[in-house]
Amino acid sequence: MNLNEKLAPNFTFGELTETSQTRYLDINRNQALAQIEAGRALAKMLQVIRDHYKAPLHIHSGFRGPSLNEAVGGSKSSQHMKFEAADFHVEGRTLQEVFDWIRKESGLKYGQVILEGRSPGKPTWIHISLGEPWREASKSRQQLAYDGKSYTNVA
């Protein structure tokens, strides 16, 4: 697949399969091809967020194949491996603002939205996943925050 192929108007295959772990880059992109329909659904969800803010949405992590996911310490059941999740931030907007808009006003049918990051007590990105909603109506939507040690539900 062409790296510049658009999965949504502002998101390319290359962007959603990028990694700084260069030794995994080619295999990661090849593995993503098997999950491309989920990738298109994810890109459409991200596009709604980008369109709302009329600002660039920067992807920290999109698709991660099994070897890349293990290398970065991802969960063994990570939805990133199914091309159903992305970690991102919106340029010029606070993470809290975007997180609150997604869960309270956006109408997006996400599976999870998590305010998280590597710094304890200081989120550095938003994780959003498709989960079941892109296939069928979701029975459980999770809204979580990560404090550097554990996840807690956010009302």
Residues 21-60 have pLDDT tens digits of: 999 999 999 999 999 999 999 999 999 999 999 999 999 9
- What are the residue ranges of helices labelled H in 33-94? 36-53, 66-71
pLDDT digits (tens, 9 = 90+) for 57-112: 999 999 999 999 999 988 898 999 999 999 999 999 999 999 999 999 998 889 88
At CA 2, angle to CA 54 and CA 49, rounded to 5?
A: 20
- pLDDT at position 137, please? 45
Residue 135 predicted with pLDDT over 60: no
User: In the chain, what are the domains?
Assistant: 6-153 (3.30.1380.10)
Backbone angles phi, psi at 16, to 5 degrees: -85, 0
- 95-104 and 36-53 helices, crossing angle to 10°: 110
Average pLDDT of the residues in 114-128: 84
pTM: 0.87
Q: What count of residues does the chain have?
A: 155
Kindly give the pairing relationship between strand 57-61 and strand 85-90: antiparallel
- pLDDT at position 38, please? 95
